[in-house]
Structure 1
């Protein structure tokens, strides 16, 4: 078992992505502290949950997912609402995961699929395939082989974690996990959660980087790379795909965090930091979040400059003085 090694090749493209990602992570960490941006962290976590579930055909919108997480009533299928609640609990305990512990994997599958799957927290007893919608990508190994395959995968991870770069190791695990398909349901969600958990042990900032939203944007390519790896018999193509997506989303995070905003007036930066995306705010709500009393000063120093820079928009732009006016972060 200890001699098992998932087949993959470290290409120049992979090395180039590792260099680029490491440089971007270093720059983001140096110029920003996510601990001071709770709304950005929360927004990115909600994006992660929404995208990971959407890949699995959950139809709830980003706004509905946010409402479920905030404890509001949402009109939708109870199963989909429960999926959101379960995923939120799992992601909220992300830092507690030991990604090299197979019992933690089962425990978190139990959280992710609570009230939804009969074999919640246990490896499957039946046969399964990997599907992109109604299209079968490939059939997974027989259920009787799953415990041994998972033991071999986790043994390899534990033995290799100090020698194989986390960006490679997490991608290899992701592909091998999807290939084995160890659970009767929730395999895609668990693969993406575990990928994030592995990277978070390397760089904690990954806990709040919504890799899942990037995968969801390129969902067809995601499944195509899995299919191509299955044909090739190794995970190199999938590693390259995942590193390319991580590299891309770090550019978005750089813009979100600081590189776009470092030249902004301090008042505008403070306003953006208290606003979550996709949530409409009244001017009074924004003033309360900022701890401000003077409405004229708020409009002059915070609101109007942000709107002029097209960082905030009105929900009723043709009636700027409407009593129903709300403001959205762009």
Structure 2
């Protein structure tokens, strides 16, 4: 009987299907970039916090999500504060050295860091390396990134990051969350459009496909199957971006800037209050000509970013 190779010992190869998928991602990114599309930042951070917590088997209420979006702290779950802080400063995260992992640990884990000491963790059926090999394997990964910078695609690095962090499993739990931030770093480095994709949402919704990709990778000793899964996921993210994203205007009209200037800092306004503030009568005109452009330019916060059409939606001037 042929011996099964552990995930962390898998090779990776390139094949035509993977190259085709990478080309499709590049095409979609180029198309979105040419028309200046992006995913609303406030909505993205709220959604990603929600789904990252689900990936970590934790839940957060919509009211607590709104509190995070307003810059407030929440008590349940406490990790919501940590994830939102990491997402808000995603540009400071570095996955190419151990500094990124340390930054994650200092921010995410509220109490003691749950380092893995055994070869088994809950809800993970694959063989893991001994705890003594975790740091050497991570250092080997960083050296691989350094050696192949400018040679391999950052999209490959993004896929490899999640695969390796899951396979090495430095913690007893929540390894997927660390893998997410490593992957997010390389997506950001790949192109500006990929900074805005709802990655956590699709990781959570495709957990079954992820497990199948891991099973196929371990059975054949080649993580190209996981790479294909990841590229399909990115393509699906880009399709949502095209449908749900917002076109960034090259310049804002004076009336939008006037509304922002009139709004008091830290105060949330209903649509009725904004109509009165701007001396307008048409609610439709307010949303089309004022609120929508301001949201697209990331100048407004929503009280409920997960439900943009909420009848009780309120808006606040975004603090710079």
- After TM superposition, the score normalised by the length of structure 2 is 0.75
Q: Do structure 1's residue 127 and structure 2's residue 118 form an aligned pair?
A: yes
Aligned to 1:88: 84
* Aligned 8 A contact 1:149 1:180 in 2: yes
Deviation at 1:194, TM superposition (A): 0.9
* Aligned 8 A contact 1:128 1:184 in 2: no
CA 210–128 in structure 1, closer or farther in 2 if over 3 Å, else same: farther
Aligned to 1:43: 43
Deviating above 6 A after TM superposition, structure 1's stretches of 4 or more consecutive aligned residues are none
Aligned residues: 278
RMSD between aligned residues:
3.3
Aligned to 2:294: none
Aligned to 1:277: none
Deviation at 1:68, TM superposition (A): 3.4
Q: Do structure 1's residue 295 and structure 2's residue 280 form an aligned pair?
A: yes
Q: Do structure 1's residue 20 and structure 2's residue 24 form an aligned pair?
A: yes
What SS does the aligned partner of 1:237 have? helix
Q: Do structure 1's residue 100 and structure 2's residue 96 form an aligned pair?
A: yes
CA 84–103 in structure 1, closer or farther in 2 if over 3 Å, else same: same
Instruction: Identify which of structures 1 and 2 has the higher relative contact order when contacts are C-alpha pairs closer than 8 Å and 6+ apart.
Output: 2
What SS does the aligned partner of 1:138 have? coil
Deviation at 1:285, TM superposition (A): 4.8
Give deviations 1:202-227, integer Å, cap 9, x for gaps: 21333322211111111221223223
Q: Do structure 1's residue 242 and structure 2's residue 230 form an aligned pair?
A: yes
Unpaired runs of 5+ residues, structure 2, are 1-7, 261-267, 290-306, 315-320
* Aligned 8 A contact 2:32 2:193 in 1: no
1:112 alignment partner, one of 99, 105, 108 = 108
Residues in 1 aligned to 2:34 and 2:200: alpha-carbon distance in whole angstroms: 24
* Aligned 8 A contact 2:10 2:218 in 1: no
* Aligned 8 A contact 1:6 1:172 in 2: no
Deviation at 1:125, TM superposition (A): 5.1
Residues in 1 aligned to 2:92 and 2:16: alpha-carbon distance in whole angstroms: 34
2:137 alignment partner, one of 146, 149, 153 = 149
* Aligned 8 A contact 1:97 1:197 in 2: yes
Give deviations 1:136-162, integer Å, cap 9, x for gaps: 322421101111111111111111121
Residues in 2 aligned to 1:181 and 1:43: alpha-carbon distance in whole angstroms: 30
CA 85–258 in structure 1, closer or farther in 2 if over 3 Å, else same: closer
Unpaired runs of 5+ residues, structure 1, are 275-279, 306-310, 316-325
Deviation at 1:70, TM superposition (A): 2.5
